[in-house]
Amino acid sequence: MTTLPNPSSPFLLPAPLGGTLVHRVRRAGHDFDPAELRGLPRLALGDRSYADLEMLATGAYSPLTGFLGEADYLSVVERMRLADGTPWSVPITLPVARDEAETYTGRVVLTHGGEDVGTLDVQERYDARKALEAREVYRTEDPAHPGVAALYAQGDVYLAGPVTLFEVPRGAFPLHHRTPAEVREVIEARGWRTTVAFQTRNPIHRAHEYLHKVTLELVDGLLLHPLVGTTKGDDVPAPTRVQAYEVLLDRYYPQARTLLSVYPAAMRYAGPREAILHALSRRNYGVTHFIVGRDHAGVGSYYGTYDAQEIFGNFTQEELGIQILKFEHTFYCKTCGQLVSPRTCPHGSEHHLVLSGTKVREKLRAGENLPGEFTRPEVAEVLRKAYAREG
């Protein structure tokens, strides 16, 4: 397979990690004869592995061209780098059951939902080091952690090798589902020399909006890049979140300076390690800046409030190739009468309006209105209707 060079333009977007944008999408009937797949072993992918396949094949996980081999796996787990020294923080692996592993040799057809979706050329099979991976990547071996629970539940053997994807799966969000190359094209067409990406798995509330608009004073464009892959069962479903983003952006954001595009990765809840992955992959989408707030990609109390910011100190700016914008917790202060942070507000917590995700869900399920100081009324209405249908 070939790689795509960084697109030429009057100005240069950030080079993808590794220098080139990986492209391993091969369409059946166009790039190869489907008859080539007859008789090959087939491996059914779970939702997270299918999301990883897309991220690998479209270049979102450049420079990776497939699921990690053992040397890269151990290096990422222990050093947050690939074996060649390239920064990489979360192992992208393909687990299978031990009693099935030997059946997968040579080229394997990958399936999802009963459909052929891609191929894997198996180059290695090796044992997962689950306890080590849990301790280093998730910083805990607690099976109550959703990422650790998923790790322990999956197969004990990892398959490694380059992949291909037959078709980019845009079905759920066809208007907003763009590959890294396509996002780069939009950024270039709009002439943004600097672009900030914002990662979210939750509906946007007023504190998020505050961060966006403060940052838009500094850069040309905002890539609102919500994660729409697999999340915890109690997270707000992706279709509801995307609808909330649409109504918000339509009424309160500058259209020419904002792009809503979904990020199809699955959530791992790896906190600091996942913050690095989110930043590096956004570099591959062509952005120059990435927002990291409090407890990025965290869950429960497993990580410190700003651990996800501090971990970036393990890398130089040149290695990362993207500028990290670190923000403190923001909230509405009833005495200041505006959105503030601990850096700008002199008042104690009794003056602040702060709602946890759990509290928000409780209010929605009870049919209560969300305060206007917390979220825009249009967003609150989208959420209220969604939870009313759920009830």
Catalytic residues: 201-202
**For residue 335, how many other CB atoms are within 10 A of its CB?**
13
Cβ(215)–Cβ(291) below 8 Å: yes
Reduced to 3 states, what is the DSSP secondary structure of residue 125?
strand
Rounded Cα gap, residues 260 and 228, in angstroms: 12
Reduced to 3 states, what is the DSSP secondary structure of residue 370?
coil
Rounded Cα gap, residues 234 and 390, in angstroms: 12
**For residue 301, how many other CB atoms are within 10 A of its CB?**
8
Q: What angle do CA 356, 357, 363 make, to 5 degrees?
A: 90
DSSP one-letter string for 67-104: EPPHHHHHHHHHHSB-TTS-B--S---EEE-HHHHTT-
Rounded Cα gap, residues 98 and 96, in angstroms: 6
Q: Strand pairing partners for 269?
A: none
Q: Which helix (H) or strand (E) holds 207?
A: helix 206-216
Amino acid letter for position 125: R
